[in-house]
Amino acid sequence: MKYGLGIRVKKRVSLFSSVLNSPQSGLGLVILALGIVLTLFAGSHADADGHAINNFLNPFTLMQTATNASFFAIMAVGATIIIISGRIDLSVGSIYALSGVAMAMALRAFSPLGPVAAVFIGFLICVGVGTLCGILNGVMVVGLRVHPFIITLGTMWILRGIAFVISKAESILVPDGLTDFAKATLGLRPGLYPVPLLFMLAVTLLGLLFLSKMVAGRYVYAVGGNLEASRYSGLRIGRILIGVYMISGLTAGIAAFVGSGYYGSAACADATGYELYVIAAAVVGGASLRGGKGNAVNATLGALLIVLIRQSVTTLQLDQNYEWIIIGCAIIVAVVLDQLNTNFAASRGKAT
């Protein structure tokens, strides 16, 4: 009897240890701690019935926080896959803008459309434009053999310029059917819109399955971990790199579809600066800029942490400029910790 109890206790301890040692545990604890701080210091307000409602820990604020994180997180999954391959993509914000503008203009040209047709066609256009932009980035990186930083810096300006020209710098409304879809309550109380959150979870799950269960995902880790060994192993490096850029463009297109639908319009200025938040989310989530390390779940948690930092600046009524300072410090700390972890692992390997 005692022997069986001891086995069960050991299994529970082992399970608890594995959870604590998982890549997501550190980020989860930081997010939990930040949430507790916001709950304690956010204050409260009275609802219509006179009940005190915490300014942070309430369904509406939590859902809005998740919604704000979803647009970054969806793109951060694609950006993480690129970073794992040892590359970078600075054009995701511009791909978002061009995809949204192209969708809004096409739906306006096809008007009138039923709600189902508007959602279906809008999704195909956003995903199609985003995927094509990603393929363009990948082909240029592979074919021109120029550093991805330079290529995607150029396409960042080119794609946003195209969005500016074709939209004439106008904000273009999307059909009501698309907004109704993005803001569907799905049975929740009015004011709670879970669709962006569900898209975020779906993309995160697909990214997790791609990286952990599919051969193509293992190839991405191999290319980022050791490019020369991957080449000598017979991997088609060019095809793999074009594929990761295609995935990055695809996720930017999905984010544009959800974001344009949620906000009801698309403009060439949409997602300006998003590439910085997306890369920050990936890096804070543990993706190594040297390649070969990262995962989709941590990218999503990183995006949530970035949004919580922004939320804390607003909720705690701090100077808005502190947002940039805190996020910058978080990026530096994440990179330094990654470097220390790599050096420690290398020293342990030499010792054995």
pTM of the complete model: 0.89
pLDDT digits (tens, 9 = 90+) for 222-278: 999 998 899 888 899 999 999 999 999 999 999 999 999 999 999 999 999 889 889
Residue type, 232: Y
In the chain, where the domains are located: 58-334
Task: Tell me the percentage of the chain whose pLDDT exceeds 90.
Answer: 57
Please state which of the ranges 68-77, 240-249, 250-259, 328-337 shows the lowest mean pLDDT.
Answer: 328-337
Q: What is the mean pLDDT of the chain?
A: 87
CB environment 262-273: b (16+ within 10 A), e (fewer): bbbbbbbebbee
User: Residue 266's beta-bridge partner residues?
Assistant: 172
Peptide bond into 112 cis (omega under 30): yes
Domain 58-334 has CATH 3.30.2010: no
> 15 pLDDT band (50/70/90 cuts)?
very low
CB atoms near residue 44 (< 10 Å): 13
